[in-house]
Amino acid sequence: MSTFPHEKSGLPDNSYQEESPLLGGFIHPDDEKAMIEEGWENIKKIYPNANRAKLGPIKLGEEKGNQTSLIVKPGKKEYRIFQKDGVTLQKSFIKLKESALGRKANFIVFEDRDTIREMKQRLVEAENQLQQAETLSS
């Protein structure tokens, strides 16, 4: 039994929708939160004093090729946080959020290293003075 061209089945002419939920949105909300937290941890590795409140909300953004990346959206424009490797920060993001990020970890370590050296030297001097005081009192 064949259908005639003038008969309709009642279904839409196209059997798919352009924005079908089956074709996109494969990331579960729990996975999305985990991805955002992992991204935040990667930021904290490079900028340990980064302020999350000043940074603004971090979200997942869609890119060409069905890839997702972490973004911040201050205003109307979106800024990718990481390069495609998922670890290296984008220069545009660093410039945009420089005040929220603070100083890089390597600068902090460099400054702390000098402070630690000074404290060790003071400790050695204090121990020497203590030994001298003990020998004088004996």
pLDDT tens per residue across span 17-32: 544 444 445 667 778 8
H-helix or E-strand containing 115?
helix 105-137
* Residue in the block written with tokens 């402070």: 115
User: What number of CA atoms fall less than 13 Å from residue 107's CA on the CB side?
Assistant: 8
pLDDT > 70: what percent of the chain?
71
pTM of structure: 0.53
Question: pLDDT value at position 8?
Answer: 60
Confidence (pLDDT) at 66: 47
> Does the pLDDT at position 75 exceed 70?
no
Interatomic CA distance for residues 64 and 77, integer angstroms: 16
Q: How many residues does the chain have?
A: 138
